[in-house]
Amino acid sequence: MSNLLGIVGFVLLLLISVMVHEWGHFAAARRFGMKVTEFFVGFGPKLWSVRRGETEYGVKAIPAGGYVRIVGMTELDQVEAEDEPRAFFRAPAGQRSVVLAAGSFMHFVIGAALLLFVFMALGSPTPSTTLTEVSTCVPAKASAGCTSTDPVSPAAAAGLRAGDRIVAVDGTPVDAWAQISARIRAAAGADLRLTFERAGARQEVTVTPAAVDRPDPDTGATTRVGFLGVTPSTVMQRSGPVDAVKETVTGIGGVLKGTAQALWTLPQKTVELAKVLFLGGERDPNGLVGIVGAADISGQLASTDAPVAARVGDVLIVVAAFNVFVGVFNMLPLLPLDGGHLAVLWFEALRSRWARLRGRPDPGRVDTNRLLPFAYAVFVLFVGLTALVVAADIAKPVQLG
C-alpha cells in the first residue's frame, strides 16, 4: 500500500507541476497583455472544459503534459486582424523572453518550495545518540551478517541494549552521533568509557572497540577502525528558516550539478542503457531514469521502514529534483522546447540590432517553417529516448539498496 501511495503521490505532484509550469506562461502572457485562448492539462481528446472570458480552461485525455495557447506564438498561427496588437510576436523581445522562460522558472520555484517544506516542516533524517540495535557479533564485512565463527561484539559483551542513550564518552558530553562514531572509529583496541541513560537512570561501562577493516565514509578507502556493534536510531531534525534556505540552496545546487553531468553524459548513458535492455546485464542506478522509473523509486522510498515524515520527505525530494531537471532540460536551445523558441527570439533580436547598427532595415522574424525539419528530428529523438527509458524502467527497474 505504501508503495502505491508513493507512486500515486509522485504522479499527482507531477501533474500539479505541469499545471504550474503552464500557469507560469499564462500569467506572464496575461501580465503583458497578450491574448491567451486556451489553458489545457493533457493532450488528445477533450474531456472537460469551461470558458472564462477569452480563455478556455480544460482537461484532455492523455496526461502527458499541458499547454497554453498564446495568439501569434509561431509563424503557423493564424492571427485575426483584431487580435494582432495583442499577438505574442508584437510584444517587445524582453517580454517575450519572460513569457517563454516563465514555465521553467516555475519548476525551480516548485523545487525550492518543496525542499523548504521538507527541511522546515518534516525535517531531515538524523542519527540520534539513542541506540536502536546492538549487533551480537563482529561481522567480517560491513554488509555481512553474523556467523557462528564471528566473535561477540564489544557492545553486546558490555551489556548495551537498544534504547540506551549515550550521553558522554570518556567523561566528555556528546549530543550528536557523529561525535560518538568518530570516537569509536578512532579507538580500535583501546578502552572507551561510555556513560548512557537507561530507563531514566545513568550508567557507565568500559568497552574496547574491535579493530576491523572498513570503508572510510568520506573517501571510500578501506582503513582500520574501531567497531563497537551499535546502530543509532533516526530522528527527524527540523531546520530554522535561515538554515532551511541554506540547505535548499545547497540542494538545488547539487541537483543542477547532477543535471549538467547527466546531460553531458547523455549519449554514453543512452548507449549503456540500450545494451542493458537488449543484451542483458545490471542496470546502473546512476544511469538514465524516466518518469516511470522516478515514480517507481518514489514508491520504493515510501515503503521503507523509515519514519513516515522521512518517507514523505524522500518522495518530495524526488519530485523537487525532477522539477529542477525538467526546468533545465526545457531551456535547452532546441526546438520544440521553450529554450529553442527563446534561442530563435534572441537570434532575431541580435540580428535586428546588428542591422540597425549597419543602417540596414530590420530583417524581421525568423521563418520558423524552415526550422520545422530540425524540430521534428529533435522531437523524434526525444520520443525514441523516452521509449527506451520507459522500456528499461518497466523491464529492468532501478532497485534501491
Nearest of 69, 68, 65, 70 to residue 18 by alpha carbon: 65
Q: Which three cell numbers stand for residue 24?
A: 507560469
Give how far Cα 31 sits from Cα of 23, 26, 91, 102, 331, Å.
12, 8, 12, 12, 21
CB contact at 8 A, 232 and 129: yes
Residue 192: half-sphere exposure toward Cβ, Cα within 13 Å: 27
Reduce the DSSP state of residue 60 to 3 states and report it: strand
Region of 42 on the Ramachandran plot (φ > 0 left; ψ -120 to 50 alpha; else beta) = left
Output Rg (C-alpha) for the chain, integer angstroms.
28
What phi and psi values does residue 331 have, to the nearest 5 degrees? -95, 5
Q: What's 122's DSSP letter?
A: I
3-class DSSP assignment, residue 127: strand
β 165-169/230-237 pair status = unpaired
CA-to-CA distance for 156 and 137, rounded, in angstroms? 8
Asked if 10 contacts 80 with a C-beta cutoff of 8 angstroms, the reply is no
> Is 22 an active-site residue?
yes
C-alpha cell read off for 66: 499541458
**From the CB of residue 135, how many other CB atoms can be counted at a distance below 10 Å?**
19
Question: Of 13, 73, 64, 61, whose CA–CA distance to 37 is shortest?
Answer: 73
DSSP, collapsed to helix, strand or coil, labels residue 258 as helix
Q: Which position among 22, 54, 84, 272 bears the catalytic label?
A: 22
Active site residues: 22
